[in-house]
A and B are shown apart, each in its own frame.
Chain A
């Protein structure tokens, strides 16, 4: 695709996972990890927007994001 020349820095994602897990990451596994991260972001923003709408805010506030973070993280526990 031409529109998205670079979705994310692959090296950075690999380094993050590597640092946290103390294991090396295979060549293309970071794509899937980032795919999961996208799903996480989708869920997080969805929950946050629901939360902020429920509390009557126009935009998504940091507080609503923080409130749904825990819940969403729990959902993404493997």
Chain B
């Protein structure tokens, strides 16, 4: 008798859960009801037969399928129905007049309510937990005791402050060692230095000697750019600038007319940069006028290519041109560091290049200009591609583009010279240019030189190219 009884109870409980029981039964609370079922177990069939038609209607309304009215055979189905009943809030609304039917949750909740005042929270063995608390208390007490120990400190206030400052900022002293003492403020706070640093770096990079650009011209521009958030950048750039200082002669600084820079330059001689070593002696004595001579005379620079491993490893552009070691521009990391300042430095170039038509390269060879018509044609062609068809290129824009292209040619030919030198050739070959294109990521697995040429070059030039380099 025991086993069928238990089964019956379970099945009736199931029925209670997903089907509506008569309203008289639902008024009972779970705790009262549970024993009643044990006393009067109902088989499912009996329960169904005793149901009033209204209750049956409500069952069919809640679960429209006919099969759903039956008890779920598996516990999964049971749980699914429970969840569905719990998740659909509309159910409660529909039988608004009635008291909510009870589920196992209700039964358990009622059980919990009954047991809540009686039961006590479980206490774990407290020994290990308590001890750290006691230790903390001890530490706090020790800290509280410390003011008493501070009394001797009152007699030694300097030591305490020294220790505090050392602990607080351990990073500050090393930069100070590399930076001149008094110029620190100038570097990090003045607007002047980053501005000049840009111009200087550009000057190093593109050794256009004959432009008489005034540094003060791009003052306002740099200020504008600094709005874009170069607060941190100025500090970084300033440090870069100091690295640069070791590599350049004093002439550049004197263009700004600042005499403090000379002082800094003397101090910077201690900076252990490999590139700076050969230059150490000259800039100390050099004046402004010697700047150009320094750049052009090969005698000064000749010792520098003796250390090609230093420059070649650091910067690929420097590998070929021996002169560039002395005039090494900012390391390759610096452009990414100071993106905001980058544009400003190039501004002073637009006007002054018109002074001399024949510029001299760093090798002392006169550099012809690319004819303006060619540049303009190309520029308008590509500008048209970019935006609407009627782009007009003004004279100033064309000058800027010409300036950019002359820089481009300088940069590219130095790279090419480096490649050909590395290959042990005296001439710049097609393979060097292909290497350059590859390194510029214009040629990859999907793009070949020929497809590029087909896209951009006329046919006779393509043929010339094909002749030069068979595929």
Contact = CB atoms under 8 A, between A and B. Distances in A.
Nearest to A40: B408
Contacts of A46: 382, 385-386
Contacts of B439: 78
B391 A49 contact: yes
A71 B374 contact: no
Contacts of B465: 28, 31-32, 35
A61 B394 contact: yes
Given A19-B366, A21-B417, A66 B456 contact: no
Interface string B324-366: 0000000000010001001101110110000000000111011
Nearest to B438: A78
User: What's the dominant secondary structure at chain B's contact region?
Assistant: helix
B461 interface: yes
A33 B370 CA distance: 13
Contacts of B345: 70
Contact of A78 (B435, B452, B459): B435
Contact of A24 (B339, B349, B369, B428): B428
Interface string B410-454: 111111111111000011111011111101101000000100110
A40 B349 contact: no
A32 B449 contact: yes
A15 B436 contact: no
Contacts of B137: none
Nearest to B221: A63
B121 interface: no
A29 B437 CA distance: 12
A36 B442 contact: yes
Contact of B371 (A9, A49, A74): A9
Given A35-B452, A62-B396, A23 B417 contact: yes
B404 interface: yes
Contacts of B416: 17, 21, 23, 33, 78
Nearest to B407: A73
B414 A16 contact: no
B212 interface: no
Contacts of A12: 368-371
A78 B465 CA distance: 21
Given A38-B378, A41-B382, A66 B410 contact: no
B368 A73 contact: no
B105 interface: no
Contacts of A48: 383
20 contacts: A1-B460, A4-B458, A19-B363, A19-B365, A20-B417, A21-B321, A29-B433, A36-B436, A39-B452, A41-B378, A42-B382, A46-B386, A48-B383, A61-B394, A62-B396, A65-B401, A70-B335, A70-B342, A78-B317, A78-B436
Given A35-B457, A66-B343, A66-B350, 19 more contacts: A1-B459, A9-B370, A15-B368, A22-B365, A23-B417, A27-B468, A28-B468, A29-B433, A32-B437, A34-B457, A35-B465, A38-B457, A39-B452, A44-B404, A59-B391, A69-B404, A73-B407, A77-B411, A78-B419
